[in-house]
Amino acid sequence: MQASSAAPLPSRPRYCGIVTPWAGRGRGREAIPQIRALLEGLDYDLVLTEAPGQATTLAAAATDEGVEVMVAAGGDGTTFEAINGLAGRETALAALPPGSGNDFQAAGGTRRSGRGRSTSAPEAMPAG
């Protein structure tokens, strides 16, 4: 059996959470304490988008700075912008659903319950 050419996973990966505060009529902002609790004890940064399209730039910059796991919290727009920022890179993506549509999360098996709460834990998947 040949050894894999993929780099080993870091023992303590760096995370970056990108949150769109206005997603889901403000549920993105309401979810910030829950996101901080989810990432507690991990090496992470949390950034808020201020304009449409910004999550792409933020995701690319975070990956360039060594982030191994990106957490996108918003609606489908935030998730797809983060995916675009991670294209061609070996960064995992976890998508959280505080938005209003969340078709991406629903297709991946993560459902909302009530005011943007997920009924299943997000699973990181390769974005590149």
Q: 10-residue block means of pLDDT along the chain (128 residues)?
A: 52 91 89 92 95 96 95 90 94 79 51 43 48
Structural domain of 29: 14-99
The CATH number linked to 25 is 3.40.50.10330
> For residue 38, what are its two tokens?
């989810």
Tell me what pLDDT residue 24 has. Answer: 84
Contacts within 8 Å (CB) and 24+ apart, 28-31: 28/73, 28/74, 28/78, 28/98, 28/99, 30/98, 30/115, 30/116, 31/73, 31/96, 31/98, 31/116
Q: Is residue 1 part of a domain?
A: no
Amino acid at 29: R
In a domain, 115, yes or no: no
The domain tally of the chain equals: 1
In a domain, 89, yes or no: yes
| pLDDT (0 to 100) of residue 109 | 53
